Amino acid sequence: MIEQRMSLAALCLALTLGLALAVPQGRLLGGEDAKMAEFPYVASLRLNKAHVCQASIISEMQMLTAGHCVSDVGAKPVEAKQLTARVGSINQFAGGDLVDICEVVIHASYGNFLHDLAIITLCEPLTFGEKINKIALPAPIEEGEVEEVPTNGTPVYVAGWGEQTDGTSNYKLQKANFNTLGKGPCELDAGYGYDSTLCLARAEKQGVCRGDDGAAVVDDDNVIQGVVSFFWGDCGTKYPDVSTRIVHYLAWIEANKK
């Protein structure tokens, strides 16, 4: 009888483990679902109707994303008519509104993932509310201020629909925590320390992945400090993820304001 109970317990354990292994394990971006209206500035950027990147609403008419997300060749963008954006939904496949895009401007110096930033102009203005709203831009750097803003070790957050550890993409928006890595430490860890980039530290087997490109890197004050640019090798390596540091591009953003 005891042996039968042990066998039954072992069988139940095996079935439980088998079911657990059958379900997609882990979320590479972080580990938890975003709540409705938690990130009202997040948009799913779609090329020919398929999600390719994130974009972040900065005004009723404009969004920020990574330059490589909308690049045809170098700083020449794809045709705007190929792009749409889903706003107001945490489901990348449904809900919210699909909006048309009329203009795309990539930073003129974009190349090799430096200056990896683009501004998207919508065809019609958004109506802001609980589920659709803008993210604040950082304040300009004052003369004499430390240029490395945010400073090393600042807690930041990213939300996106990128791939998980099993290679699939979650339909629901995911969120994760990071810490910024200063220019010096990032140069030491990855050989990529630039004033215009913002590196993100996290544990191995976590971090951004394909489809998270263009996502906002946001601090505790709900200010966008970076735009996700790239990761080294496969997702979740020991190397930090890299984003574009927004404070260095405020004049360019202002010059292209609509």
pLDDT band at 107 (very low <50, low <70, confident <90, very high): very high
Calculate the CA dihedral of residues 160, 206, 225, 257 and round it to 10 degrees.
Answer: -30
Amino acid at 31: G
Q: What are phi and psi of 42, to 5 degrees?
A: -80, 135
The pLDDT, as a whole number, for residue 31 is 66
* pLDDT tens, residue by residue, 149-167: 899 999 999 999 988 767 7
3-class DSSP assignment, residue 121? strand
Rounded distance, CA 258 to CA 255, Å?
A: 9
CA 60 centroid distance within chain: 20
Fold classification of 42-134+250-255 (topology level) = Thrombin, subunit H (2.40.10)
d(CA 48, CA 86): 13
Q: Residue 115 CB: number of other CB atoms within 10 A? A: 22
- Domain ranges in the chain are 42-134+250-255, 137-247
- Assess whether pLDDT exceeds 50 at residue 129: yes
Average pLDDT, the chain: 86
Token representation of residue 110: 């974009």
Q: How far apart are CA 163 and CA 168, in angstroms?
A: 5
Token code pair at residue 238: 């020991």
Note the CATH number of domain 137-247. Answer: 2.40.10.10
User: What DSSP designation does 218 have?
Assistant: E
The predicted pLDDT at position 146 comes to 59
Q: Which of 127-136, 200-209, 213-222, 224-233 has the lowest mean pLDDT?
A: 200-209
What pLDDT, on the 0 to 100 scale, is given for residue 170? 80
Alpha-carbon torsion 38, 52, 126, 110, what sign? positive
pLDDT at 147: 65
Separation in Å, CA 109 to CA 75, 113, 118, 124, 196: 7, 10, 11, 28, 12
Distance CA 21, CA 102 (A): 45
Which two three-digit tokens encode residue 68?
């490589």
Would the CATH topology of 42-134+250-255 be identical to that of 137-247?
yes
**Predicted confidence (pLDDT) per residue in 17-57, tens digit:** 332 222 222 333 456 899 999 999 999 999 999 999 999 99
Calculate what percentage of the chain has a pLDDT beyond 70: 86
Q: What is the predicted pLDDT for the residue at 32?
A: 87
What is the DSSP code (8-state) at residue 188? H
Token pair of 77, please?
């963008």
